[in-house]
Amino acid sequence: MGSESYRSELVRLQKEEAGFRKDLARHEGDAAKARAAANAKRKSAAGSKSPSTIATNLRSAEAEDKKAVEAVKKVAAVQDKLATNATRQRDKQRSLDNALKSEQSSRDRADDARRRKEKDHAREVSRLSATTVHHVYVKPAEPEKLRVLYLTASPATEGEAALRVDLEVNNVLRAVRASKHRDLIDIQHRPAAAPQDLIDGINDLRPHVIHFSGHAGAPGLLFDKADVVDPGEQTVGYRHLARLLRATDQPPTCVVLNACDTADGALELLEAVPVVVAMNAPVGDASAVVFATRFYAAVGSAQPIGRAVEQAVVATEIALSTDMDLVTLCARPEVDPSVLKLIEPAD
């Protein structure tokens, strides 16, 4: 989501807050008015000698008391809404700040790329203007294999059921073997993945794609603790994950987070990689398995990343008869996912 979207959402929340404050003032005024009326009725009852007049005033006072109580309840309800609105505004402001930072970084990278291109062009012009010509036969380069670091983790976690990540990997490998360009994909699976597996995989493979399947949430990804005596999970926050992805001479092109509620971390990761596929809500085992299988089947057919995501979403909706509106595809402004391919077969 870009900065303009976050800015628009922030403006909407601010307008909503103004409306709540008007409601709060109205309900507080109603409560004060009802209490004043009740006091006046009781005063009239105290100053009267007529039993019927006294009874009538006391009943009126009780009715005004009820109005005051209802108004106070409405005041409390509006105050709760204001508190929720304030929390949402803080969250949107943080998201807006991150988006602005990411967009500025993207502009800086684009400027650097443009300057490098101009220098390369100048050098090429200089080379071509040389009088000596060497005729050398160069063997056409073979297409580079797509290297995928596939991390799965389903550690023993309190309140979380074990995930069928092994089934997901098995189905993905089967789909890749059946794809048109299967010889151009190298998937390296790291089961029960710990943070060290991520670091080692980045260093050993220089992967183009890093895929994580497992439990996750707003704080980050839940890796395996890798302790046979005291098993459990270890959370790696998105900020640290982005720093790891940048700490290499060949950052990956794409990160796929096939895990619940990972969309909030996508903006952090876009500072390190051009494209992030994440989930903006909880995702079930069946949806995760079908989505991953069809995504890599499309990638194996040399479809662009954006088209592969679209195919995977539609295939999941058909297979499970459900709407798959939880997949988020995020890309830097200079990157078009509908064009960017992970596999470039030789002509």
Q: What is the pLDDT of residues 284-303, one digit of tens each?
A: 899 999 999 999 999 999 99
CA angle centred on 340, ends 337 and 344, rounded to 5°: 155
Q: Does residue 141 lie in a domain region? A: no
pLDDT band at 134 (very low <50, low <70, confident <90, very high): very low
pLDDT of residue 336: 94
91 and 161 inside one domain: no
169 and 87 inside one domain: no
74 and 158 inside one domain: no
How far apart are the C-alpha atoms of 29 and 319, rounded to whole Å? 56
311 and 179 inside one domain: yes
Mean local confidence (pLDDT), 208-226: 93
- List the one residue out of 163, 289, 288 whose CA is nearest residue 224: 163
The two tokens of residue 36 are: 């004043």
Q: Does residue 265 lie in a domain region? A: yes
Residue 306 near residue 276 (C-beta atoms within 8 A): no
| Least confident range of 31-40, 165-174, 187-196 | 31-40
pLDDT of residue 16: 92
Q: The domain spanning residue 212 has which CATH number?
A: 3.40.50.1460
170 and 318 inside one domain: yes
Q: Which of 102, 126, 157 lies at the terminal end of a domain, its last residue?
A: 102
* Average pLDDT of the residues of the chain: 89
Rg (CA), the chain: 30
234 and 297 inside one domain: yes
Q: Does residue 137 lie in a domain region? A: no
As a whole-number percent, the residues of the chain with pLDDT over 70 amount to: 94
Please return the burial class of 126, using the count of CB atoms within 10 Å of its CB with bins 0-12, 13-18 and 19+. Answer: exposed
170 and 96 inside one domain: no
How far apart are the C-alpha atoms of 108 and 89, rounded to whole Å? 28
Q: Which of 102, 136, 161 lies at the terminal end of a domain, its last residue?
A: 102
Q: Is 234 left (phi over 0), alpha (psi -120 to 50) or beta?
A: beta
Tell me how many domains the chain contains: 2
pLDDT band at 251 (very low <50, low <70, confident <90, very high): very high
Residue 250 near residue 206 (C-beta atoms within 8 A): yes
Does 175 score more than 90 pLDDT?
Answer: yes
Q: Does residue 130 lie in a domain region? A: no
Q: Does residue 309 lie in a domain region? A: yes
Residue 211 near residue 332 (C-beta atoms within 8 A): no
Q: Does residue 138 lie in a domain region? A: no
Q: Going by C-beta distance under 8 Å and a sequence separation of 6 or more, which residues neighbour residue 334? A: 106, 109, 110
208 and 312 inside one domain: yes
* Domain assignment of residue 53, given as a range: 3-102
- Please, what's the b/e burial string for 91-101 (b: 16 or more CB within 10 A of its CB; e: otherwise)? bbeebbebbee
pLDDT of residue 112: 83
Q: Does residue 54 lie in a domain region? A: yes
Residue 304 has a CB neighbour count (10 Å cut-off) of 18
Q: Tokens 């490998």 identify what position? A: 173
Q: Does residue 204 lie in a domain region? A: yes
